[in-house]
Structures are given as structure tokens and as C-alpha cells.
Amino acid sequence: METTSKGPSSSEFATPLATHGLNPSGAVHWNLDWKELHGMAVERGEASLTTHGVLLATTGERTGRSPNDRFIVQESGLADDVWWGEVNKSTSSEIFDRLLVKVQNHLDSRDVLFVKDAHCGADPKYSMPVRLITEKAWHASFFHNMFVRSEPSELVNHVPEYTILHAPELMANPKADGTNSGVFVILALDRGLVIIGGTHYAGEIKKAIFTIMNHILPAKGLLPMHCSANTDYNHSALFFGLSGTGKTTLSADPGRALIGDDEHGWSDDGVFNFEGGCYAKLIGLSKEDEPAIFATTRMPGSVLENVILDANGVPNFEDGTLTQNTRGSYPIESIENRTLDSMAGHPKDVVFLTCDAFGVLPPLSRLTPEQAAYHFISGYTAKVAGTEIGITEPQATFSTCFGAPFMPRHPSVYADLLSSKIRDHDANCWLINTGWVAGGYGESSRIRIKWTRALLNAALDGSLDDVIFVEDERFGFEVPTTCEGVPDEILQPRETWSDKTRFDNVANLLAQMFIENFEQYSEGCSEEVLSASPKVLD
């Protein structure tokens, strides 16, 4: 039985549920607005409201992504397209088909289903119609926030290219179903279908669609990117960086408008946001440090995830009782300082952010296109004590393309596209280290944010164009000799270490880590990119 709360009947939609193999016995609500979804989520006991009227949901055991439970169906059309391995784990069509039937039967048996239609991609030329079919109203609201919304009249003719069948209450049987646990996230890229079960964590929905975009766009000559982006309306900038590198903080600039905070495409026309919303980490959030994001947590259209409330129903963002990965999703319209169409021209600057806990990378370096490709593929930062259980010393970590879990193709595919676009549009490339200076973690401190901001602003506004740069003989990139508002000695890390021999040893150690990590990508990379590798010096 298919029903709808308002608007056209289900029979008037271009793609009814029967297209997805569903014949639900309960009510089906098509494209409800957020107010209706929040009301039903509370009524059904899925979520509660904060004192500000914001929806709050908890996700149970899984409070983050489940990378060990994510698979791509290995079908003939994908044999050469996907870089199979630990990240892109394969599963068979037979396993997928068995689980698909379980998901379909589960959804058919629910007393109510929620269908949300939207698009991924703010640029109409490259926008992909997508659909979520879920048993939870709050997940439908999350989907509503995160993707590009259409007018109700446009949705009548909506034909999704990719559909997610979302069954968080359905647990797999690992032995019978061929999964690693009760959780499963399986992408059948050739069929335009994703099935998710056993996890309530909403981020799986967002990242499944991102993975799809990362698969299909390179074949069209577009570069999909895990980055934030902003613009001063004359020039746009991209910010790549892993968690803890300052990506959110540095891309949030009062003098520049936000294009998007996480996922973008670079086409022949410029940069566009994939999403219609933001999915912000909230742990430690304060009104003073991030006022724009803080304000969204009091806007009734937002959805909070795994946040603890105080006795008055006010979120306590310092409380990580459930997880350090507390989240908030909200429409991008909630951010006042943004571009209206989530698009901009070609980037003038491409910024890679790293937090080097070894204290040997300069606060700012200028990269050639080949070096940019090398560092893009490497995706380096460092974990420090307190970020994960068991870490007592700095540990180098590499996540290719600054988003390894979501990149189904070989990293060189994305790196070649990046290098090509950097050359075609004469973009400046920068590596900014927001980590330690004058020594490593435990013996010095992180670089002051005001110095990092001064370096970034100088890079973006052209103030460094007339500054003398010197080449770093170990890493090959160029380092400025001066920058207004920053002590000159800070710019050359070796000069800040009292023990120069120890600096050389630590720098060689990091260079060797880069070299060893890159060996797995060497096949398929050009000689120009391979030549951008750092050197271990005598």
C-alpha cells in the first residue's frame, strides 16, 4: 500500500516503489518536509527534541562509519574500474542478491516507509538524481538536509539514477549472508543501487552517495574531491585535509563565502558543491570559536546525532559520553556567509593541510603540479596521543586523496585529473602545516593559529608573489623566506631546532615514511609524479 501525506499520489510519481522490487504493506510517505518528518520521528520514538526544537537522534552501537562492513559488488563492468583491496572490498552478485531480498522483505513488512528524492550536485549540468527509501523518519530528514532539494512540482518526474534501500533495524547473519558482521553497506554501482542495514549512523548514507560520485565523474572528465571550498567572488580556493588539520576552521573566513564544507566537483566550468547541507563534527563546539556552526545547532531544521543534553535540554558539546564523533546536519542555507548557488569559478588556489607532529614540515610551502599530485595521493597527517586509544607517540597516517575510504578508483586517476586542472587553470598549490614547530610533539607546541591564518591570507591574496622562496632540498617544495605577521625563523623549521642533527634524522624518518607509503601507488603513476618524492639525505 502506497500513500502520501500531501501532494501527488504515489501512482503519479515517475518511479514507483515497485521499480525497486518493493510492495510495502504499510503506509509510504513521499517527500515530506522537515517539519512533518521531525514530528513523525518524535511521535514514533525515533528521536527527541532539544529545548530549541532541534531533532536529536542516537545511533546505538555504531556511532561512526563501518569501513570493514562496506563492500562493492564485483560485476563484469567494474573489473578494471575499481581499485580492489582493503578499502574497496569486493563481494559477489550472489551475496548482494540474497541480502537485497532480505532488505526488500524487511522494508515491505514495515508499518511505514519514508521516501525522499533529491539531487547530488549543485551544478545542474552534472547533478545526479538520487533517492532514499528508509524505515526511519529522522534518516529521511538527514537526507533532506544533506542533498540538493528540488521544488515539489519537479519531484513528480524524478527518476533516480541511484537509490539507497535503508534498513537500519535489519541485522545480517554473517555466516549465512557473507558479511563481516550484522552491519552491511553494499554498493552495486552498475545497478544504481545501495543497500544499508544494521547501522543507524546517518553518515553511511552521505558517504555512499559520495563514493558513487567518485566512481562516475572521472569517466566524464570531472574531478570529485573530498575538500572544503570558499570564494571571495573573484577567486575560489580548495582546502584538502584529514581530521584535525584545521580544514573547517581555516575555510571558515569572514571575508570569503562558503561554497561547501566537504564534497565538491571540479568541472570545465569551475567548482560546485555536491551537497545541499553540512555534516559538522560538534564535539568541543563553542559559540566563540565557530559561531556560524554553533548557531545551526539551535535552528529547528537541523538534526543532531549522539549529542548529550543537560537537565534543561540544552546540548552539551563537551560531553562525549556516547562518542567523540557527535554530529549535526543542517541545510547549507543555515550558513549566512555562503554562495547562493553553491558554485564558483575555477580555483586560483589549492591548499593541502597537514598536522605534522614531527615538527619538520614548514608552516607553508609552494608546490609544483607534480608535487601537488604526490601530496594529494599521499594524504599525510599525523596522529598524536589522545586521538586514538594506544597512541603515545606521534604516528604518521596517510589517506590517499585525503579521502581513501570513498575513492573506488586507483588514486592516480584522481591525481592525474587534479594535475591537469591545476595546469589548465594555472592554480597555485600550497602545503600548510598546522602542526608543531621548533620541535616535535611533546617538546614544543603547535603553530599559532594567527600565524597560520596570516600565511594562508598572504597566499590567497597574492602577498607572497614578490617574496623570495628557497627550495627545501629534502622535500623539494619551495618555502617563503618572509611573510608579514609571521616570525621569519618559523618559516624554516630546521632553524627552530636547537639540535640540527636530530632535526635531520627526524626529517629523514618522515621522508622515508612518505617513500614507503607511496610504493603501493607507484604502478600507474607518471614519472613526473614519482620524481616528486622526497629524498633521504646523508
Q: What is the pLDDT of residues 302-328, one digit of tens each?
A: 999 999 999 999 999 999 999 989 999
The answer to whether residues 493 and 517 belong to one domain is: yes
pLDDT confidence of residue 78: 76
pLDDT confidence of residue 9: 46
The answer to whether residues 450 and 483 belong to one domain is: yes
The answer to whether residues 175 and 241 belong to one domain is: no
Q: Which residues contact 123 (CB under 8 A, 6 or more apart)?
A: 265, 267, 269, 272, 343
Q: Which of 438, 435, 463, 462 is nearest to 449 (CA)?
A: 435
Q: Is 226 a catalytic residue?
A: yes
CATH number, residue 309: 2.170.8.10
The answer to whether residues 318 and 423 belong to one domain is: no
The answer to whether residues 298 and 189 belong to one domain is: no
pLDDT confidence of residue 516: 97
Residue 340 lies in a domain: no
pLDDT confidence of residue 193: 98
pLDDT confidence of residue 160: 96
Tell me the mean pLDDT in the region 362-370.
96
pLDDT confidence of residue 42: 98
pLDDT exceeds cutoff 90 at 525: no
Catalytic residue among 117, 261, 262, 416: 262
Tell me the mean pLDDT in the region 357-372.
96
The answer to whether residues 322 and 387 belong to one domain is: no
Q: Which residues contact 362 (CB under 8 A, 6 or more apart)?
A: 431, 433, 472, 477, 479, 491, 492, 493
Catalytic residue among 131, 327, 338, 383: 327
CATH number, residue 420: 3.90.228.20
How far is the CA of 480 from the CAs of 175, 341, 368, 466, in angstroms? Answer: 58, 36, 14, 10
Q: Is 98 a catalytic residue?
A: no
The answer to whether residues 303 and 172 belong to one domain is: no
pLDDT confidence of residue 15: 80
Tell me the mean pLDDT in the region 82-109.
96
Q: Which of 31-40, 214-223, 443-452 is predicted with the least confidence, judged by mean pLDDT?
A: 443-452
The answer to whether residues 63 and 212 belong to one domain is: yes
pLDDT confidence of residue 4: 53
Catalytic residue among 29, 116, 206, 207: 207
Tell me the mean pLDDT in the region 462-491.
96
Q: What is the pLDDT of residues 253-295, one digit of tens each?
A: 888 999 999 999 999 999 999 999 999 999 999 999 889 999 9
pLDDT exceeds cutoff 90 at 102: yes
Residue 267 lies in a domain: no
pLDDT confidence of residue 387: 42
Bigger pLDDT: 9 or 49? Answer: 49
Q: Which of 11-25, 111-125, 202-216 is predicted with the least confidence, judged by mean pLDDT?
A: 11-25
Catalytic residue among 29, 62, 65, 348: 65
Q: What is the pLDDT of residues 406-425, one digit of tens each?
A: 999 999 999 999 999 999 99
Q: Which of 474, 223, 244, 254 is nearest to 350 (CA)?
A: 223
Bigger pLDDT: 299 or 7? Answer: 299
- Over the range 40-72, which residues count as b (16 or more CB within 10 Å of their CB) and which as e? bbbeeebbebbeeebbbbbbeebbebbeebbbb
pLDDT confidence of residue 522: 87
Residue 101 lies in a domain: yes
Residue 299 lies in a domain: yes
- In 198-355 the beta strands, taken as DSSP E runs, fall at 223-226, 228-231, 236-241, 257-260, 263-266, 271-273, 277-281, 303-305, 308-309, 315-316, 327-331, 343-344, 347-354
pLDDT confidence of residue 445: 85
Residue 367 lies in a domain: yes
Over pLDDT 70: what percentage of the chain? Answer: 95
Cell of 364: 607553508
What is residue 148's DSSP assignment? Answer: B
Asked whether the CA dihedral 450, 455, 461, 464 is positive or negative, the reply is: positive
Q: Which of 114-118, 245-249, 334-338 is predicted with the least confidence, judged by mean pLDDT?
A: 245-249
Helix/strand/coil for 334: helix
Q: Is 247 a catalytic residue?
A: yes
Residue 270 lies in a domain: no
Residue 268 lies in a domain: no
pLDDT exceeds cutoff 60 at 400: yes
Measured distance CA(458)–CA(312) in Å, rounded = 45
Measured distance CA(210)–CA(200) in Å, rounded = 18
The answer to whether residues 182 and 308 belong to one domain is: no
The answer to whether residues 370 and 508 belong to one domain is: yes
CATH number, residue 103: 3.40.449.10
Catalytic residue among 15, 90, 243, 368: 243
Question: CB neighbours (10 Å) of residue 247?
Answer: 22
pLDDT exceeds cutoff 50 at 61: yes
Catalytic residue among 63, 134, 199, 248: 248
Q: How confident is the model at residue 13 (pLDDT cuts 50, 70, 90)?
A: low
Q: Is 243 a catalytic residue?
A: yes
Q: Which of 8-17, 31-40, 67-76 is predicted with the least confidence, judged by mean pLDDT?
A: 8-17
Residue 143 lies in a domain: yes
pLDDT confidence of residue 57: 98
Question: What's the mean pLDDT when you consider all of the chain?
Answer: 93
The answer to whether residues 50 and 80 belong to one domain is: yes
The answer to whether residues 316 and 281 belong to one domain is: yes
Q: How confident is the model at residue 1 (pLDDT cuts 50, 70, 90)?
A: very low
pLDDT confidence of residue 48: 98
Domain range for residue 287?
277-334
Q: How many domains does the chain have?
A: 3
